[in-house]
């Protein structure tokens, strides 16, 4: 196990320095390379394969709900971006601007899209004429750019990959339902596919999206108690429709403005996977998105029949799972630590003695639990192990979130928790922005995460100003 020790030593321990542990994993597991372009990352094959699995799963969920994919231009003329006042104020400071094209200075500068509401609206104004054209349920997979000063792979980069859904509806109610439906799609996806639990709810006025009437959010907690805004779903009402003059002839023969939503998740989710599930040996990947679900490692490969038997198992499993058969001349120890670093959920070990007994060893990445299984039941046992890994990962993440969720009923208690035990704080709030700002200032960054759909009644008073409380809010620091 000398090899293994050496590899593992190269990673900072998660509890010693979470930030360094994170960047160590990102490099060591070959997810990302830093590029010479400020704030932009290279997503390497192993990282991109995770993204492809995420895309395929989400895309299926979107299409099942009737959404269609489209592609809008990556450039937004300045005048188009300015059509919705709140929206441009929110995004203009983060824009990258193209000012020269084909060796000539442009008459109007073009923003590289930070998000595409304005482009979708410009198109919708042309293709929506009557209620028969509604709803429009469009989605786009693309990259967007938001100029960032300090960046971190997956969590905050000047360019990132995402999907943005943009829908138009006949009624406000239908649009509001869509907003919540898509939040639910994200919640299901996080739980069923990423094995990540989360708090969901509504953002406060202060934290909502530029131009939205309401923003809903999914907020998973990282292992260290810090939140990540994991996905958002916005209800716009007819504000953009008015700014962009989008009208349809209704069933009553009158002209109406349609009602709009948008919703998106991004490559940040890979950051969440790392920080929710990873450990001191590296990545721990949810089986549903892991590029390799099963690594088969033959032991004592010089012994007769081992390599052949390993190949046989590979051939049996590969139609059902994403399998890697590693028959390279590296030592088993090196391979063990390699696939642990890469977070492969299930390892199958096979040596001469196992072959004699018609068995192999299945090792779970999350718990290191080893079980001997008969080769006769291999497919079923691997399936069972993958499900057990998924369930175990979800449960541990849920336990961690629950352990690090606290209640504060007065300000002193709130500040103490915020300083000593990073996590979510449940506390009552009066509804005023000033209290949010005071909390953020005093605690060095704790912000309202969301107002959950089911609020508990913890007290009558705002935790900050002691005035009449309006809502129970989840609070916490964020990436």
Q: Interface with a second copy includes 479 (CB under 8 A)?
A: no
If one asks whether residue 60 binds a second copy (CB under 8 A), the answer comes out as: no
Query: What DSSP assignment string belongs to 384-399?
Result: HHHHHHHHHHHHHHHH
Q: Is 52 in the site for a second copy (CB under 8 A)?
A: yes
Q: How many residues does the chain have?
A: 479
> Could you say whether residue 73 binds a second copy (CB under 8 A)?
yes
Least CB distance to a second copy at residue 38 (A): 8
Give the one residue of 71, 150, 302, 319 binding a second copy; rule: CB under 8 A.
71
Q: Which residues 381-440 are close enough to bind a second copy by CB under 8 A?
A: none
């400020």: which residue's tokens? 38
For residue 225, the minimal CB distance to a second copy (Å) is 30
- From the centroid of its chain, how far is CA 405? 20
Is there binding between residue 322 and a second copy (CB under 8 A)?
Answer: no
Examine residue 44 and tell whether it contacts a second copy (CB under 8 A): yes
Q: How far is CA 240 from CA 88, 228, 258, in A?
A: 12, 28, 9
Alpha-carbon distance 332 to 348, whole Å?
12
Residue from 53, 158, 262, 338 binding a second copy (CB under 8 A):
158
Query: Shortest distance, CB of residue 449 to a second copy, whole angstroms?
Result: 26
Helices 268-277, 45-64: crossing angle, 10 deg rounding? 110
Q: Would you count residue 62 as binding a second copy (CB under 8 A)?
A: no
From the list 63, 182, 166, 91, the residue with the least C-alpha distance to 122 is 166
Tokens of 157: 């980069």
Tell me the closest approach of the beta carbon of residue 415 to a second copy, in angstroms.
Answer: 33
Report whether 127 contacts 248 (CB < 8 A): no
Considering the rule CB under 8 A, would residue 210 count as an interface residue with a second copy? no
| Shortest separation between residue 69's beta carbon and a second copy, angstroms | 5
| Residue 84 and residue 211 in contact, taking contact as beta carbons nearer than 8 Å | yes
The least distance separating a second copy from the CB of residue 94, rounded to whole angstroms, comes to 6
Distance CA 350, CA 372 (A): 10
Burial of 259-293, coded b for 16+ CB within 10 Å and e otherwise, reads: bbbbbbbbbbbbbbbbbbbbbebbbbbbbbbbbbb
Among 60, 126, 302, 457, binds a second copy (CB under 8 A): 126
How far is the C-alpha of 134 from the C-alpha of 170, rounded, in Å?
Answer: 6
Q: Is 88 exposed, middle or buried (0-12, 13-18, 19+ CB in 10 A)?
A: buried
Q: Which one of 1, 19, 98, 300 is in contact with a second copy (CB under 8 A)?
A: 98
Shortest Cβ 97–a second copy spacing (Å): 4
d(CA 391, CA 386): 9
- Residue among 71 and 412 whose Cβ is closer to a second copy: 71
Q: How many residues lie near a second copy (CB under 8 A)?
A: 55
Site string for a second copy, 76-95 (x = CB under 8 A): xx--x-----------xxxx
Q: Which of 103, 150, 253, 358 binds a second copy (CB under 8 A)?
A: 103
Residues of this chain that bind a second copy (CB under 8 A): 33, 35-37, 40-45, 48-49, 51-52, 68-77, 80, 92-103, 109-110, 112, 119, 122-123, 126-127, 138, 142-143, 145, 147-149, 158-159, 161
């Amino acid at each position: 196990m000398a090899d293994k020790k050496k590899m593992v030593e190269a990673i900072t321990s998660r509890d010693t320095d979470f930030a360094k542990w994170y960047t160590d994993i990102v490099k060591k597991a070959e997810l990302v390379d830093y590029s010479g372009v400020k704030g932009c990352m290279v997503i390497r094959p192993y990282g991109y394969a995770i993204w492809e699995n995420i895309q395929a799963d989400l895309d299926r969920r979107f299409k099942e709900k009737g959404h269609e994919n489209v592609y809008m231009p990556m450039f937004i003329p300045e005048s188009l971006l300015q059509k919705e006042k709140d929206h441009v104020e929110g995004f203009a400071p983060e824009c990258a601007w193209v000012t020269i094209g084909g060796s000539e200075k442009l008459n109007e500068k073009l923003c590289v899209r930070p998000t595409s509401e304005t482009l979708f609206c410009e198109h919708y104004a042309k293709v929506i004429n009557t209620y028969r054209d509604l709803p429009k349920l469009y989605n786009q997979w693309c990259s967007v750019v938001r100029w960032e000063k300090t960046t971190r792979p997956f969590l905050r980069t000047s360019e990132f990959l995402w999907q943005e859904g943009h829908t138009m509806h006949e009624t406000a109610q239908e649009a509001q339902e869509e907003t919540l439906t898509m939040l639910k799609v994200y919640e299901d996806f996080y739980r069923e596919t990423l094995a990540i639990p989360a708090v969901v709810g509504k953002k406060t006025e202060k934290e909502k999206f530029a131009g939205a009437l309401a923003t809903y959010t999914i907020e998973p907690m990282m292992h260290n108690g810090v939140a990540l805004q994991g996905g958002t779903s916005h209800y716009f009402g007819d504000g953009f429709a008015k700014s962009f003059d989008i009208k349809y002839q209704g069933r009553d023969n009158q002209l109406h403005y349609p009602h709009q939503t948008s919703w998106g998740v991004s490559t940040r989710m890979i950051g969440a996977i790392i920080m929710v599930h990873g450990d001191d040996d590296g990545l721990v990947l949810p089986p549903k998105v892991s590029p390799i679900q099963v690594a088969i490692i033959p032991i004592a490969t010089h012994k007769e029949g081992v390599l052949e038997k390993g190949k046989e198992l590979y051939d049996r499993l590969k139609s059902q799972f994403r399998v890697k058969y590693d028959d390279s001349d590296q030592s088993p120890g090196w391979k063990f630590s390699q696939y642990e670093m890469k977070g492969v959920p299930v390892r199958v070990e096979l040596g001469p003695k196992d072959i004699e007994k018609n068995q192999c060893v299945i090792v779970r990445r999350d718990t290191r639990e080893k079980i001997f299984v008969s080769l006769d039941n291999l497919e079923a046992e691997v399936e069972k192990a993958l499900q057990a890994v998924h369930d175990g990962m979800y449960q541990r993440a849920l336990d961690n979130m629950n352990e690090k969720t606290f209640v504060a009923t007065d300000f002193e208690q709130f500040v103490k928790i915020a300083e000593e035990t990073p996590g979510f704080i449940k506390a009552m709030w009066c509804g005023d922005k000033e209290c949010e700002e005071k909390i953020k200032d005093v605690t060095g960054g704790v912000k309202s995460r969301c107002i959950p759909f089911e609020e508990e009644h913890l007290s009558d008073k705002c935790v900050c100003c002691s005035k009449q409380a309006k809502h129970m809010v989840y609070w916490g620091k964020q990436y």
